[in-house]
Amino acid sequence: MWQQQLDEIKQGNAKTLARCISYIENEVAGYEDLLQQLPASQTPIIGITGPPGAGKSTLVDALIGLLVNEGKSVAVICVDPSSPFNLGALLGDRIRMSEWYDNPKVFIRSLATRGSLGGLHPKIIEISDLMKVAGFDYIIVETVGVGQSEIEIAGLADITIVVVVPEAGDEVQTMKAGLMEIADVFVVNKADRPDADLFVKNLRLMLAPAFHNHSMPVPVIKTVASQKKGIAELLKTITDSFNIVKEKEKRSWLLAEKAFHLIQQKKMMAIDKALLKQKIEEAGKDFNLYAFIKNYY
Amino acid sequence: MWQQQLDEIKQGNAKTLARCISYIENEVAGYEDLLQQLPASQTPIIGITGPPGAGKSTLVDALIGLLVNEGKSVAVICVDPSSPFNLGALLGDRIRMSEWYDNPKVFIRSLATRGSLGGLHPKIIEISDLMKVAGFDYIIVETVGVGQSEIEIAGLADITIVVVVPEAGDEVQTMKAGLMEIADVFVVNKADRPDADLFVKNLRLMLAPAFHNHSMPVPVIKTVASQKKGIAELLKTITDSFNIVKEKEKRSWLLAEKAFHLIQQKKMMAIDKALLKQKIEEAGKDFNLYAFIKNYY
């Protein structure tokens, strides 16, 4: 079981890959066996995140174009929050990317977060591990930097790129502290706007090694993704970084992060919330939560 | 042990309360016993969240003023992200609130998230439960709506108030889907700005029952906190809501949420990340994460 599918995926069969992703997404019977049979793979994962409106999709689109031009193959996972409120906006972005759907060098898959509020996607680790089997040169995981996703992406990607726009000034200082800490590379997109240079300067100051635990300054790249400007420099920075981050230390750290996340999910699933609620309802007036937990868990 | 401290806290001794909060925060030996001895309490918790710059601190400040005028007592927990990048901005907000520090009816405590990225505070449930012992009329928990905190606050507070500003238009549509889903009350602060009415109208449309699982429309209150405008209406909406949310159903749901969160934390602590990393490093080249987890957990 699954060996045939895995062979087909290895040979570049996009349909089988798409189908097996759906099996994992929907937890079709046997999907855990499939995962346990995945061969080891070194395909690097490029994580791209940042606030809404930073131009992540346009940037990914430009990156795909450059990679395809260089004869490389690339798989893209787009994780979109699945709220009724933002369907329109996101669909617009995705349409731009659709020109690649017929290109055999490019595989694009959208995943909705399905109400896992602020999370990346409950099966993103598993799905990206499956994608690695297909032998693409790169895997790009693109996600809106909402809630936990920016932290989760750092535990998933071999390199994490945070995209911001020049007017993000205040945002970066207050809201996106999380983004600061996970970025391996910063992209200031829409860098043709006024004050872009000042913003880049301030960002570089903030990213000075004194302020965080990176041993080297985090690169800051200026791009205008809609005009394909700065994309080549970005790609070079990415590939250069792989020579650093590919170190065994970082790889085993990443694997431990993934394992931690998967185990955590398993343990959470094992907590029976309904039973918990029932027992709490049965409890008397002098109910003490901490004594309760101590007795039951 | 602890009975004397609990008695002092009940009698309104702010110093003992502050000290015991620190015990919990720092997991001083015996703090778990303290928690298991907490008497049941019904003090309602008002959660206030929203994006940076929405004016949450000013709003809380105005609420404190109104409550004190009415002869009520209130405890406030401010949860601030503890990133080196935003210290300045947040300190400014806090200084405004400091006029209350000498008022015996008001107890204010700031907690830093301590790098629990995007989280509320690792001990927020425990600390707010301790605060309930002191017999304040209300407890306010104020937190920047970053990351997971907005979800966590809904599992902690008896009523969750989401503060936004008129120009948040696009923000609300894309980024803050999480905020939409947890709000019991919406506050549109700085409502004297142009387009405030249009924004409120759109917000009310979005919050129509068709779009979410509340049985009643979520109230939207306009305030100008810096001029104390709309605060009385907000407080009335809050106290009215308590008559609804105090139902047994909601209370046991909240307790189950808290229990779930506490159990989850316990189980996560039990995962030995360093050992995980070590075992992964020892594993061979054909390492499969899923088989590994199946064998070990």
CA distance B291 to B175: 37
Phi, psi of A138 (to 5 degrees): -140, 150
Find the CB nearest B117 among A38, A151, A172.
Answer: A151
Q: Which residue has the tokens 């066996």?
A: A33
Name the DSSP class of A225. Answer: G
Alpha-carbon gap, residue A26 to A51, rounded angstroms: 28
**8 Å CB contact between B206 and B181:** no
Q: B150 to chain A: which residues are within 8 Å by CB? A: 118, 147
Question: B78 CB contacts (<8 Å, ≥6 apart)?
Answer: B57, B60, B94, B97, B108, B109, B110, B111, B142, B143
| Contact in structure between B93 and B205 (CB atoms under 8 Å) | no
Interface of B with A in 70-109 (CB under 8 A): 81, 83-86, 89-90
Cβ count near B214 (within 10 Å): 13
Handedness of CA B128, B132, B135, B137 (dihedral sign): positive
Q: Which of A145, A128, A140, A131 is nearest to A50 (CA)?
A: A145
Q: What is the ipTM of this complex?
A: 0.70
Domain segments of chain B as ranges? 1-32, 40-246
CB contact under 8 A, A259 and B289: yes
Strand partners of residue A188: A164, A222
pLDDT tens column, B7-30: 999 999 999 999 999 999 888 999
Sorting pLDDT into bands at 50, 70 and 90, what band is B132? very high
Q: Which residue among B52, B129, B178 sits closest to A175, beta carbon to beta carbon?
A: B52
Helix axes A248-269, A124-132, angle to 10 degrees: 130
Residue B13 phi, psi (nearest 5)? -80, 105
Tell me if A39 and B146 make a contact (CB, 8 A cut-off): no
Nearest-neighbour CA in chain A from B68: distance (Å): 30
pLDDT of residue B174: 45
Contact B178 A264 (CB under 8 A): no
A112 touches chain B (CB under 8 A): no
Cβ(B143)–Cβ(B120) below 8 Å: yes
- Chain A, window 224-243: residues with a beta carbon less than 8 angstroms from a chain B beta carbon: none
Token readout for B97 is 């609130």
Residue matched to tokens 């000034």: A169
User: Is B267 in a helix, a strand, or coil?
Assistant: helix
pLDDT mean over A261-267 = 81
**B18 contacts chain A (CB < 8 A):** no
Question: Does A129 contact B at CB distance below 8 Å?
Answer: yes
Nearest Cα to Cα of residue A57 among A17, A91, A105? A91
Beta strand B74-80 with B138-143: parallel, antiparallel or unpaired? parallel
Q: Give the pairing of strands A159-164 and A185-188.
A: parallel
Question: Is B8 in a helix, a strand, or coil?
Answer: helix
**A38, A40, A89 ranked by CB distance to B173: nearest:** A89
Picking from B177, B288, B294, the nearest residue to A81 by CB comes out as B177
Confidence of residue A209 (pLDDT cuts 50, 70, 90): low
Residue listed under structure tokens 């949310």: B245
**What pTM did the predictor assign?**
0.66
Instruction: Indicate the pLDDT class of residue B112, thresholds 50, 70 and 90.
Output: confident
Percent of chain A with pLDDT over 70: 78
> Which phi and psi (to 5°) does residue A114 adopt?
55, 50
- Chain B hits for A35, CB-CB cut-off 8 Å, are 288, 290
Q: Does A265 touch chain B (CB under 8 A)?
A: no
- Chain B CB within 8 Å of residue A197 CB: no
Fold designation for B40-246: Rossmann fold (3.40.50)
Q: How confident is the model at residue A178 (pLDDT cuts 50, 70, 90)?
A: low
Say whether A151 and B252 touch across the interface (CB within 8 A): no
d(CA B235, CA B212): 24
Q: Are A189 and A55 in contact (CB under 8 A)?
A: yes
B246's CB contacts (< 8 A; 6+ apart) are B44, B158
- Chain A: closest CA distance from residue B237 (Å): 25
Could you report the per-residue pLDDT of B236-250, keeping only the tens digit for each? 999 988 776 555 566
